[in-house]
């Protein structure tokens, strides 16, 4: 249900004493705001959201910003602050608590207000929003109404930007002229489907019966596979061991039509991960890998391959799983060839069990971290998503940032022409309670890199990325997603 919107002078202050108040400009509504408002909702019986006026220049007018908050239906009332400002409103409303995003801790005006709040018995709480993960979502579930609302939001976005299933096909046809270079850690993923038999009588361990195994190209390899399936040409540079797993990878990549330059290193195995699955639940993962950096001779071969390919491609992607293929010299080489050939360069660091930082990718065109990776890189557990993104863009000097928020979707941040103004656009996740989230980031990176290299508009790119990620998480295993599947997903979304 939509929240009521009222001018500051028309609020019935007889019924507000002891309420909870939140405050902000709310220029763009994203997952961070929703977390923050939901938290504030739990702190008292009545929640008022005060929306700052148009004294400063925001992307939208006050009434438009208030409308966005009201549509969430979280607050009891949305208050349009007048010229008298926040302090006057608080003195009239007499709340028990003012809840603010953590970014306001750095705000000089709010620091000055805090003394007045203490004197008037109004507590102040700063909140960044919890960092959710898929386990929480599986426990809480997600109702059909929420999923439908997300789909409706995307359909409205498409309507506003003239996006149709036909325009999507035209865009993907244009991508077929793009040539991409992917560099990173090759992984072979094996999924073993099992039947759970019970608990062993000999020891407290689960006993399963292995039924069927299937292998997939993973890591940076599946990024290359996605890009190829989307219609673009793709060259892939990585390292493989002198083993049967490496032979499988070479044959599989060749059958996909990918120009794979796999440098053989007989001192390390091809990275191999085996997952045991029963009833669509992962029981255990066993990894066989070497995570030290490659030796100097292998590094020189990687650099030589990059330099040889750079003049023949439209964009360069680094998919870094921190298993040693992407060294600092490799990163510097990518930056050098990007300047030489005026190429967009993209990077993603996936460090679920490894130690890595997205901050080593200085001056890249696009970075695609998830929230956890961004917080680890910035050593910041407290800032809101918005402030975290701004700080990361400043620290890395990237032009664009795609902040992945798991089951809450992702937010695109882009610098303006002169590097000062930053535009934002939020896109929801389109799948509830996914089967396997392992490939969501790879699929998003593939779409973003190919699309930006082809100069695709952000609204269309975001819709394609949302649909691509939703396909990836709705099935077990990290196989490449075909262009026809993506078109069918977009068509289904627009028709429903």
Q: What is the pLDDT of residues 357-383, one digit of tens each?
A: 999 999 999 999 999 999 999 998 878
Q: Mean pLDDT across the stretch 341-361?
A: 90
Looking at residue 140, what is its pLDDT? 44
pLDDT tens digits for range 184-228:
999 999 999 999 898 888 898 889 999 999 999 999 999 999 999
**pLDDT band of 138, cuts 50, 70, 90:** very low
Instruction: Report d(CA 129, CA 106) in Å as an integer.
Output: 17
Q: Is the pLDDT of residue 463 over 90?
A: yes
Share of the chain above pLDDT 90, in %: 64
Buried b (16+ CB within 10 A) or exposed e, 26-45: bebbbbbbebbbebbbebbe
Looking at residue 134, what is its pLDDT? 38
347 Cβ contact list (under 8 Å, min separation 6): 317, 318, 320, 358, 361, 364, 366, 367, 368
Given the structure tokens 């290359």, which residue do they identify? 224
- Runs of H (alpha helix) within 161-266: 165-175, 220-229, 244-255
User: How distant, in Å, are the alpha carbons of 38, 425, 428 from that of 31?
Assistant: 10, 11, 9
Looking at residue 494, what is its pLDDT? 87
Q: Mean pLDDT across the stretch 234-257?
A: 97
Q: Provide the whole-model pTM.
A: 0.77
Looking at residue 484, what is its pLDDT? 92
Question: For the chain, what are the domain ranges?
Answer: 4-130, 137-184+221-235+252-259+310-495
- Per the DSSP assignment, residues forming a β-bridge with 422 are 415
Q: Is the pLDDT of residue 485 over 50?
A: yes
Among candidates 403, 398, 393, which has minimal Cα distance to 28? 403
Q: For residue 362, give the DSSP letter.
A: T
- Backbone dihedral region for residue 288 (phi beyond 0: left; psi -120 to 50: alpha; all else: beta): beta
User: How distant, in Å, are the alpha carbons of 195, 454, 493 from that of 467?
Assistant: 32, 18, 9
Q: Tokens in use for 420?
A: 């000062």
User: How distant, in Å, are the alpha carbons of 27, 61, 188, 373 from that of 252?
Assistant: 47, 54, 10, 30
Q: Is the pLDDT of residue 418 over 90?
A: no
Q: Is the pLDDT of residue 117 over 70?
A: yes
Looking at residue 131, what is its pLDDT? 43
269, 290 contact by CB (below 8 A): yes
Looking at residue 139, what is its pLDDT? 38
The superfamily CATH assigns to domain 137-184+221-235+252-259+310-495 is Ribokinase (3.40.1190.20)
Lowest mean pLDDT among 140-149, 175-184, 255-264, 363-372: 140-149
Among candidates 440, 389, 395, which has minimal Cα distance to 414? 389
Q: In what order do the strands lie in the sheet with 281-288?
A: 206-219, 186-199, 271-278, 281-288
pLDDT tens digits for range 249-258:
999 999 999 9
Lowest mean pLDDT among 120-124, 153-157, 318-322, 391-395: 153-157
Name the 3-class secondary structure at 328. Answer: helix
Do strands 400-404 and 410-415 pair parallel, antiparallel, or not at all (unpaired)?
antiparallel
Given the structure tokens 């560099």, which residue do they identify? 183
Looking at residue 147, what is its pLDDT? 66
- Backbone dihedral region for residue 412 (phi beyond 0: left; psi -120 to 50: alpha; all else: beta): beta
- Per the DSSP assignment, residues forming a β-bridge with 412 are 402, 425
Name the 3-class secondary structure at 232. Answer: coil
Return mean pLDDT, the chain. 89
Q: Is the pLDDT of residue 31 over 80?
A: no
Given the structure tokens 């044959």, which residue do they identify? 251
Instruction: Report d(CA 299, CA 485) in Å as an integer.
Output: 37
426, 124 contact by CB (below 8 A): no
Q: Is the pLDDT of residue 103 over 80?
A: no
428 Cβ contact list (under 8 Å, min separation 6): 150, 153, 154, 408, 409, 466
Instruction: Report d(CA 489, CA 409) in Å as an integer.
Output: 17
Q: Tokens in use for 246?
A: 């490496």
Q: Is the pLDDT of residue 420 over 80?
A: no
Instruction: Report d(CA 279, CA 270) in Å as an integer.
Output: 29
399, 433 contact by CB (below 8 A): no
As a CATH number, domain 4-130 is 3.40.50.620
């Amino acid at each position: 249900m939509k929240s009521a919107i009222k001018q500051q002078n028309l609020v019935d202050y007889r019924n507000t004493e002891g309420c909870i108040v939140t405050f902000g400009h709310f220029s763009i509504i994203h997952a961070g705001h929703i977390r923050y408002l939901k938290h504030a909702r739990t702190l008292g019986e009545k929640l008022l959201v005060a929306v700052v006026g148009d004294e400063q220049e925001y992307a939208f007018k006050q009434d438009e910003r208030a409308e966005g908050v009201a549509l969430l239906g979280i607050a009891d009332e949305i208050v349009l602050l007048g010229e008298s400002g926040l302090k006057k409103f608080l003195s009239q409303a007499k709340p028990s608590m003012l809840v603010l995003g953590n970014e306001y801790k750095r705000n000089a005006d709010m620091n000055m207000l805090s003394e007045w709040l203490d004197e008037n018995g109004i507590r102040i709480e700063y909140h960044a929003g919890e960092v959710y993960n898929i386990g929480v979502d599986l426990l809480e579930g997600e109702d059909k109404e929420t999923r439908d609302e997300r789909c409706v939001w995307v359909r409205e976005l498409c309507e506003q930007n003239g996006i149709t299933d036909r325009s999507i096909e035209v865009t993907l046809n244009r991508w077929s002229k793009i040539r991409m270079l992917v560099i990173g850690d090759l992984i072979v993923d094996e999924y073993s489907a099992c039947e759970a038999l019970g608990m062993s009588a000999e020891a407290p361990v689960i006993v399963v019966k292995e039924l069927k195994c299937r292998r997939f190209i993973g890591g940076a390899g599946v990024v290359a596979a996605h890009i190829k399936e989307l219609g673009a040409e793709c060259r892939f540079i990585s390292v493989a061991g002198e083993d049967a797993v490496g032979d499988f990878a070479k044959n599989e990549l060749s059958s996909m039509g990918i120009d794979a330059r796999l440098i053989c290193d007989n001192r390390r195995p091809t990275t191999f991960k085996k997952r045991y699955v029963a009833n669509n639940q992962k029981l255990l993962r066993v990894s066989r890998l070497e995570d030290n950096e490659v030796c100097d001779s292998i590094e020189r071969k990687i650099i030589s391959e990059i330099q040889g390919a750079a003049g023949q491609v439209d964009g360069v992607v680094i998919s870094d799983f921190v298993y040693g293929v992407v060294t600092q010299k490799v990163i510097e080489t990518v930056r050098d060839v990007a300047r030489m050939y005026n190429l967009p360069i993209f990077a993603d660091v996936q460090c679920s069990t490894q130690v890595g930082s997205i901050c080593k990718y200085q001056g890249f065109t696009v970075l695609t971290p998830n929230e956890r990776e961004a917080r680890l890189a910035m050593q910041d557990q407290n800032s809101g998503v918005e402030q975290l993104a701004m700080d990361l863009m400043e620290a890395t000097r990237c032009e664009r940032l795609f902040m992945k928020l798991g089951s809450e979707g992702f937010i695109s941040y882009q610098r303006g022409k002169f590097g000062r103004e930053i535009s934002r656009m939020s896109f929801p996740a389109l799948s509830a309670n996914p089967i396997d989230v392992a490939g969501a980031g790879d699929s998003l990176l593939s779409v973003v890199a190919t699309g930006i290299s082809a100069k695709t508009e952000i609204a269309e790119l975001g819709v394609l990325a949302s649909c691509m990620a939703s396909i990836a998480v709705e099935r077990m295993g990290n196989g490449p997603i075909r262009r026809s599947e993506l078109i069918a997903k977009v068509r289904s979304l627009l028709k429903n």
